[in-house]
């Protein structure tokens, strides 16, 4: 049984169905990226999972307890960071975290120990006596994340946590989230910045107009969606005296090979699209094709100087499953 199980979740606002029959699971120790355009239903789903709203239909269990029927049982297991989190201006980092630790019912030395351990984990110890109003956005966000960790929740629900952060703060956030997953926590994180999620998530769920279009690993989503596995190779040449003719020769040779569906020139390289109709399961079909194509090119005297495999990414998966319905 997964730590979090969501089945047939629905939320209507009048005539608007904001969340429509959404089902997915999240395992302990993993990070699930919740992806969708503005208004897709991410925040509504997350608010329901954080017990701040109730669904019109559907069931959610967390650690075996029904979130809808027994919210008091599951609240201690949840750490929720909304997309607009707040810090108080005239308190220090330490005072802020200590205040919430008291609110969580932590007392005495146990409270001091927990606050210190959260500050250590989030790198806030050097800033503990600074007013939260004097902190950068990245540091404020760490304080907010620290707050969600005080009661040691099993599930973290983070709504657009990287929004507005600079590149360094994003990388640091990524590292913190990976460390939390390694500690065994389940992390649900939303974003509409796909590259950001691709680098951090184990699995992803793509949502649009309230409906979940796909869930799973990026590679599986791509394979599931098309029934045909797709890969891309990129090859560069050193044309030398042969000049432009080398491109046409290479292109013709490549298009004669099995599984090669498209060859396109992109800057100083050729991008080769491969398709395997048997799906992704056929062993190392990409490596096998790559080895063959390289041998053919080199055997025909094409001056190859670089040859690489481009992983298909979350953007490809997103574009594929949403089929351009995204505004
Ligand atoms: N309290 C509410 N009352 C009425 N409609 C709402 C309410 N909350 C959300 N909605 C609507 O429900 C839909 C889903 O909104 P939601 O905030 O869940 O989307 P989202 O995917 O989180 O988008 P964003 O990235 O913009 O936050 C939108 O059409 C939104 O306008």
Reading the chain (327 residues) residue by residue, the pLDDT tens digits are 899 999 999 999 999 999 999 999 999 999 999 988 888 899 999 999 999 999 999 999 999 999 989 999 999 999 999 887 777 778 999 999 999 999 999 999 999 999 999 999 999 999 999 999 999 888 898 999 999 999 999 999 999 888 877 888 888 888 999 999 999 999 999 987 777 777 788 898 989 899 998 888 876 776 665 556 677 899 999 888 878 888 999 999 999 999 999 999 988 899 998 887 765 555 688 888 999 999 999 999 999 999 998 766 677 777 767 754 443
Collapsed DSSP state (helix, strand, coil) of residue 317: helix
Task: Give the integer Cα–Cα distance in Å for 202 and 186.
Answer: 11
CATH 3.30.70.980 maps onto the chain at: 224-322
pLDDT at 101: 96
pLDDT of residue 280: 55
Nearest to 83 by CA among 49, 52, 111, 42: 42
- Ligand 1 pocket test, pick from 40, 47, 162 with the greatest ligand atom count within 8 Å of Cβ, gives 40
Query: At a CB cut-off of 8 Å and minimum separation 6, what does 190 contact?
Result: 33, 34, 35, 36, 42, 43, 46, 158, 159, 160
280 Cβ contact partners less than 8 Å away, ≥ 6 residues apart: 219, 220, 222, 223, 229
Residue 306 burial (CB count, 10 A): 11
If you measure from the C-alpha of residue 207 to the centroid of ligand 1, how many angstroms do you get, rounded to a whole number?
12
Ligand 1 pocket test target in 39, 194, 213 with most atoms within 8 Å of CB: 39
Q: Is the CB of 39 under 6 A from ligand 1?
A: yes
**CATH of range 4-216; options 3.40.50.2300, 3.40.50.300, 3.30.70.1450, 2.30.40.10:** 3.40.50.300
The residue whose CA is least distant from atom 4 of ligand 1 is: 13
Residue 191 Cβ contacting ligand 1 at under 6 Å: no
Q: What is the reported pLDDT for 65? A: 94
User: In terms of DSSP H, where are the helices of 122-207?
Assistant: 137-149, 167-182, 194-198
> Which atom of ligand 1 sits closest to the CA of residue 11?
12
Closest CA to 62 of 185, 158, 176: 185
Indicate the pTM of the whole model. Answer: 0.78
Q: What is the pLDDT of residue 327?
A: 35
Measured in angstroms, how far is the CA atom of residue 56 from the centroid of ligand 1?
A: 15
User: For ligand 1, atom 29, which residue shows the shortest CA distance?
Assistant: 39
Q: Is the CB of 42 under 6 A from ligand 1?
A: yes
Centre of ligand 1 to C-alpha 229, Å, is: 34
Ligand 1, residue 44: give the atom nearest the CA. 18
User: Which residues, 6+ apart, have CB-to-CB distance to 272 below 8 Å?
Assistant: 232, 233, 234, 235, 254, 260, 262, 263, 293
Question: For atom 28 of ligand 1, which residue has the closest CA?
Answer: 39
Residues 232, 260: Cα–Cα separation, whole Å = 10
Closest approach atom of ligand 1 to CA 210: 14
Cα distances from 309 to residues 36, 110, 209, 305, 320, in angstroms, run 27, 52, 34, 14, 20
Where in the chain do CATH 3.40.50.300 domains reside? 4-216
Architecture of domain 224-322: 2-Layer Sandwich (3.30)
ipTM reported for the complex, 2 dp: 0.96
What is the DSSP code (8-state) at residue 325?
A: -
Mutate to test the pocket of ligand 1, among 18, 20, 161 (most ligand atoms within 8 A of CB): 18
Beta partners for residue 60, in sequence order: 6
Q: Residue 155's beta-bridge partner residues?
A: 78, 186
């Amino acid at each position: 049984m997964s730590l979090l199980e969501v089945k047939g979740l629905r939320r209507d606002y009048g005539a608007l169905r904001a969340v429509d029959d959404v089902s997915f699971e999240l395992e302990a120790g993993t990070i699930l990226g919740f992806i969708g355009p503005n208004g897709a239903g991410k925040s509504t789903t997350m608010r329901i999972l954080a017990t701040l709203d109730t669904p019109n239909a559907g069931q959610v269990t967390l650690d075996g307890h029904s979130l809808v029927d027994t919210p008091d049982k599951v609240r201690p297991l949840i750490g929720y960071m909304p997309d607009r989190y707040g810090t108080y201006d005239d308190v220090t980092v330490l005072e802020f975290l200590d205040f919430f630790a008291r609110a969580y019912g932590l007392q005495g030395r146990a409270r001091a120990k927990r606050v210190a351990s959260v500050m250590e984990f989030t790198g806030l110890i050097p800033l503990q006596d600074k007013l939260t109003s004097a902190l950068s956005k990245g540091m404020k966000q760490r304080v907010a994340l620290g707050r969600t960790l005080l009661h040691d929740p099993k599930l973290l629900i983070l709504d657009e946590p990287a929004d507005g952060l600079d590149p360094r703060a994003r990388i640091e956030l990524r590292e913190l989230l990976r460390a939390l997953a390694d500690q065994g926590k389940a992390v649900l994180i939303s974003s509409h910045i796909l590259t950001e999620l691709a680098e951090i998530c184990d699995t992803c769920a793509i949502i649009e107009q309230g409906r979940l279009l796909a869930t799973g690993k990026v590679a599986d989503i791509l394979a599931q969606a098309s029934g045909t596995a797709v890969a891309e190779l990129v090859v560069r040449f050193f044309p030398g005296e042969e000049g432009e003719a080398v491109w046409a020769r290479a292109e013709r040779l490549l298009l004669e090979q099995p599984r090669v569906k498209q060859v396109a020139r992109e800057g100083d390289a050729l991008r080769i699209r491969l398709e395997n109709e048997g799906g992704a399961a056929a062993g190392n079909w990409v490596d096998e094709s790559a080895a063959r194509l390289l041998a053919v090119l080199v055997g025909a005297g094409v001056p190859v100087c670089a040859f690489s495999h481009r992983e298909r990414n979350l953007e490809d998966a997103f574009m594929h499953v949403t089929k351009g319905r995204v505004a």
